[in-house]
Amino acid sequence: MSKIALTKRVSITMRGFSILKQYCPGLAQGKAAYELINSIQPFISVWFTAQIVNEISSQRRFNTILLFILGAVLLNFICSLLKNILNHVCNEKEAQMWNWFEKIFSDKQMSLDFVDLENAAIQHQRQEAQENLYMFGNGLAQLFWGISALVRTLVYIVLSLAMTISLFLSSSGNRFIDHPIWILIILVCIAIGGLSKSKATISENDIFMEYCKNTVWFNRVFLFFGKELYMNPEKAKDVRIYSQNTVAEKMLDKLISHEKENQSDIVKMALYPAIAQIIIVFANAVCYLFVASKALFGAFGVGNIVQYVAVLSRLGEGLQELMYLLSDNEVYCTHLQNLFAYLDLPNHMYQGSLTVEKRDDNEYYVEFKNVSFQYPNADSYALKHVNLKFKVGEKLAVVGMNGSGKTTFIKLMCRLYDPTEGEILLNGVNIKKYDYNEYTSIFSVVFQDFRLFSFSLGQNVSASASYDEDKVIECLKKAGFAERLNSLPNKLNTFLYKDIDADGVEISGGEAQKLALARALYKNAPFIILDEPTAALDPISEYEVYSKFNEIAGTKTAIYISHRLASCRFCDKIAVFHEGEIIQLGSHEELLADSNGKYYELWNAQAQYYTT
Ligand SMILES: Nc1ncnc2c1ncn2[C@@H]1O[C@H](COP(=O)(O)OP(=O)(O)OP(=O)(O)O)[C@@H](O)[C@H]1O
């Protein structure tokens, strides 16, 4: 484990606390208050007990004894009451803490550039920070758990020192026992206990860091082979049909033997604290011997023996815990540093501030100027020198073979990625200069791999918690979902899927596609982009979408990707993509007239099924 300077550790710890405060307000403060009372309480009991025993063994005044008893009871009652209240509040907040930790990661994921969501190294970084936190509490949870120990340590050290002073000041009349060298001896004994604890913790932590790394890897692989493959209904069909579980089980066997290798680490981790404990016991024995000797020579009464033995052991514990905390702090600072490295990942996409002009005439035009694009870590370009200009109201079809770059073209237009070379312009201005959210608001897209969510039908279509019901119904009708909507007892309030609501409905692939289309229509953006929007539709529904396409698109600019070339005929222009380039552009008739062109080839390949 690499060393972190103390000043750096302080700033990391402070930042950790400020994240805790932001996501779990009141939790750290509540825990600190609870621990303060909890660690003061034993000292109250020790002090009162010492006074009572001293009184019994000396003057035996009944009223004084009664006063001490009442004082002890009253203070203990107040402490217990406050502790109970704080404990309930903290327990409730602590139970929620893990959910709020999730939110930290969700917030960051949401703010990352889209390209980074697909960046394996970045997602690995997130996963490692997340799994360390959830499996071991490494980082933020350790910081939170450390609050109790820190408060307890400080209280133990301060109060123990205060209550030990009289041990050294009291005189027994024996020169040897009263010699000031004993102050040093006792402090050295306590320090030895603390140092041995610290040494054990450092050695234990070094092994623990390695253990965490291995276990996080184990967990990730196990989650996939031991859980995801079986639990995810989307994968279940293929797992069963192709017996993928046999591959998974082989992998699990390997994992189990790897896990066995890890067991030796656990033994080593347990050994270091045990050795430290032996040293601590010897150091404590010297302290107790000193207290007993002083009492034997008459320096103080029997009651004080109770007090000094108790506070010296608390002082030792406090010092040991302080050493432990300092070593432990380095571990969670290392994990917090990893978490912060992920949280501090910058956005590389230029964030412009121009507002997108709201035009009543919808006169927007988009131009691709010599745009090339290479996916991160890909060897080749997915788009090469794309030049294309289209205006609002135009209907553009994009066709081409698999992998020719059609979807990539759409993703660039929606600014999910920035071009590697060239530029994309909206009304003559580079799209990077527009405010990102404003720019994306002008697009309604039905992606090939769109997703619907476990919200109500109305919320799915409107993409909002409250919505215009008539408008949602109108869009559902246009998308061909009217009949199905009428069959649903809760209509727009029907939940999709059963994750949230047991009465939720499962929908077919085609129905989902209709809903995705309705969602795009509800957004009512000037650009509507449909990537294979009818792939899952039955022939009648598909026909309905085609025949209503002009009505659906209205005056919007529509971009339509399809492998069914017959459906592209109604578009004003057709762009034919091939190996990342636009190799043909024109109307259906123009392109078909070129019998050497790709479009002619694709058209005829498909047409033969309808003519033979
Ligand atoms: N996220 C990605 N990372 C790396 N390469 C990608 C990614 N997405 C697509 N590609 C690659 O980019 C190329 C173009 O893919 P794209 O999805 O744009 O093709 P497409 O024409 O839409 O294909 P299809 O008709 O099969 O949907 C392909 O070679 C593909 O493998």
Give tens-digit pLDDT for 45-96: 889 998 998 888 888 889 999 999 999 999 999 999 999 999 999 988 888 8
- For 121, residues 6+ apart whose C-beta sits below 8 A from its C-beta are none
Please report, as a single letter, which amino acid is at residue 504.
G
What's the confidence (pLDDT) of residue 109? 94
- The residue nearest atom 25 of ligand 1, judged by CA position, is 402
What's the confidence (pLDDT) of residue 365? 80
Q: Measured from the CB, is residue 120 less than 6 Å from ligand 1?
A: no
- Contact (CB, 8 A) for 467 and 461: yes
CATH class, 364-442+525-612 region: alpha beta
Q: Domain-by-domain residue ranges, the chain?
A: 7-219+270-343, 364-442+525-612, 451-523
Q: Measured from the CB, is residue 403 less than 6 Å from ligand 1?
A: yes
Q: How far apart are the CA of 580 and the centre of ligand 1, in A?
A: 9
* Best CA proximity match to 438, nearest among 361, 522, 520, 353: 353
What's the confidence (pLDDT) of residue 458? 92
Q: Per CATH, the architecture of 7-219+270-343 is what?
A: Up-down Bundle (1.20)
Domain 451-523 classified CATH 3.40.50.300?
A: yes
Token reading at 300: 């103080």
239: buried, middle or exposed (CB in 10 Å: 19+, 13-18, 0-12)? middle
| Residues 609, 490: Cα–Cα separation, whole Å | 43
Angle between helices 140-169 and 302-343 (to 10 degrees): 150
Per DSSP, the residues of 276-314 read: HHHHHHHHHHHHHHHHHHHHHTTSS-HHHHHHHHHHHHH
Q: Measured from the CB, is residue 406 less than 6 Å from ligand 1?
A: yes
Q: Measured from the CB, is residue 375 less than 6 Å from ligand 1?
A: yes
What's the confidence (pLDDT) of residue 24? 92
ipTM of this predicted complex?
A: 0.98
What's the confidence (pLDDT) of residue 358? 66
Q: Average pLDDT across each block of 10 residues of the chain; the chain has 612 residues. List them in order.
A: 84 95 93 94 89 87 93 94 93 90 94 89 90 87 90 90 87 85 88 82 77 71 72 73 73 70 72 84 87 86 83 85 83 92 90 72 80 91 93 85 93 93 92 90 87 88 89 90 87 85 82 89 87 75 71 80 80 91 92 90 77 51
Q: What are phi and psi of 448, to 5 degrees?
A: -55, -40
Backbone dihedral region of 46: left (phi > 0), alpha (psi from -120 to 50 degrees) or beta? alpha
Judge if 364-442+525-612 and 451-523 fold alike in CATH terms. Answer: yes
Q: How far apart are the CA of 232 and the centre of ligand 1, in A?
A: 25
Atom of ligand 1 nearest to the CA of 405: 18
What's the confidence (pLDDT) of residue 228? 72
What's the confidence (pLDDT) of residue 360? 59
Cα 487 to the center of its chain, rounded Å: 39
* Best CA proximity match to 581, nearest among 380, 290, 364: 380
Q: How far apart are the CA of 382 and the centre of ligand 1, in A?
A: 7
